[in-house]
Structure 1
Amino acid sequence: MNTCSAASCTATSACAANHHPALDLPAQRIDTAEARTRTLLETAHSKLGFIPNTYAYMANAPHLLETYLLGYDRFRTDSGLTPVEQEIVLLTVSRENQCDYCTAAHCFMADNMAQVPRAVTQAILDQGEIPEPRLRALHQFTRVLVDRRGKASREEVAAFLAAGYEQRHVLDILLAIAVKTISNYANHLFDTPIDDLFGAKQ
């Protein structure tokens, strides 16, 4: 089994509980959605080949989905972080926020798209130590920003910069935290089912 997809439900306590959605809004569909929502869903489908469940639920507030998609795209294209580093940040945020859906999704992307070493993704899921110093510093600093609501000390910032990053990368991580917080919290409220693609066996 895919190490990440299996661990997404063992990494947090959420899978052990019998959760029910706090919101009753339905997943939106292209064929029944209003014009603005339909356009967003069609765009997502054209890029991905399917509509992730989290998009379908966030689409109940099209401005929310639109904001998420724009911020996510900007992080991917403009952050200056490598694909591996991007996945480390996104997976770390999702793991810290205990979002099973996004943990599974970013594990899938880490394995199949960014080619993140398995030892790295497993360390994130287990809250262990990443072997490579630069990636370890990125993971640790991202955790600090999430867990302390951005209140990193000068010493912690200095340690992050000493690993080879720049001050602008701190702000890039903030963008990732912002967009992932949107999807993580939405998934908590909707108890979003994990798409088959993200939970599939390898």
Structure 2
Amino acid sequence: MTTINVPSRDQVSPANQALFDNLKKGLGKVPNLYATLAHSEHALGNYLAFQNAKSSMTGKAREVVNLVVSQVNNCEYCLAAHTVIGGMVGFTPEQILEIRRGGASFDVKLDALAKLVKSMAVERGHADTSLVQAFFDAGWTKENLVDAIVIIGDKTVTNYLHGTTKVPVDFPAAPKI
């Protein structure tokens, strides 16, 4: 089996070196999965632009999507990273585990989001129509639906990247469920 390394700053292009510098300033490090994207001249910059684009889904809602999709795709790396981020946006460890299972009984709106996202991820975009209706009934909009789907795409990219490369996880391991 070919091992995919995590490139260091001196092993990537000048454009990616600048992105590494910005990531280190903002996050204190360059996460291994981001560094792995830098094997491509363009992937890291494109991914960061995609991930940081404006969205109607922010904060807790974005983390619900990230956690649910990462659980469905069984991505050890993204579950670890988003467990940390989920705590930073205010979820308790128990709430994070519940979200990963596809629900959020502690918040009606986030519960509808989690259930819909799980359906979309499991069914590869063919969501249960009753869950789409429950999402709207909970107060979400058509804009929110489209933006949630974009976040699913974003998270699927990194889930697949880790699933294929198996680069080392550089966040505390997420609890098993």
When the two structures are superposed, what TM-score results if normalisation uses the length of structure 2? Answer: 0.88
CA positional deviation for 1:176: 0.8
> CA contact under 8 A between 1:94 and 1:184: conserved in structure 2?
yes
The answer for unaligned runs of 5 or more in structure 1 is 1-21
When the two structures are superposed, what TM-score results if normalisation uses the length of structure 1? Answer: 0.78
Higher relative contact order, chain-length normalized (CA < 8 Å, sep 6+): 1
Provide the C-alpha distance between the structure 1 equivalents of 2:59 and 2:2, rounded to a whole number of angstroms: 34
Name 1:104's counterpart in structure 2. 80
User: Does structure 1 residue 163 correspond to structure 2 residue 138?
Assistant: yes
> CA contact under 8 A between 1:129 and 1:136: conserved in structure 2?
yes
Deviates more, 1:60-69 or 1:167-176: 60-69
DSSP-derived class of the 1:179 partner: helix
Equivalenced residues, count: 173
Name 1:198's counterpart in structure 2. 172
Name 1:15's counterpart in structure 2. none
Provide the C-alpha distance between the structure 2 equivalents of 1:128 and 1:60, rounded to a whole number of angstroms: 33
CA 123–199 in structure 1, closer or farther in 2 if over 3 Å, else same: same
Name 1:133's counterpart in structure 2. 108
CA positional deviation for 1:24: 2.8
CA positional deviation for 1:23: 4.6
Provide the C-alpha distance between the structure 1 equivalents of 2:119 and 2:66, rounded to a whole number of angstroms: 14
Provide the C-alpha distance between the structure 2 equivalents of 1:81 and 1:129, rounded to a whole number of angstroms: 17
> CA contact under 8 A between 1:95 and 1:124: conserved in structure 2?
no
DSSP-derived class of the 1:88 partner: helix
Name 2:56's counterpart in structure 1. 80
CA positional deviation for 1:155: 3.2
CA 94–58 in structure 1, closer or farther in 2 if over 3 Å, else same: same
Between the two proteins, what is the percent identity of the paired residues? Answer: 29
Deviates more, 1:79-88 or 1:138-147: 79-88
1:1-202 alignment to 2 at 5 Å?
Answer: 23-74=2-53, 78-111=54-87, 113-125=88-100, 127=101, 129-131=103-105, 132-195=107-170, 197-199=171-173
> CA contact under 8 A between 2:76 and 2:173: conserved in structure 1?
no
Cα shift readout 1:160-200 (whole Å, capped 9, x = no counterpart): 100110011111111111111111111011112111x4349
The answer for unaligned runs of 5 or more in structure 2 is none
Deviates more, 1:139-148 or 1:151-160: 151-160
Cα shift readout 1:57-107 (whole Å, capped 9, x = no counterpart): 121013222222111111xxx222341111111111111111000001000
CA positional deviation for 1:26: 2.3
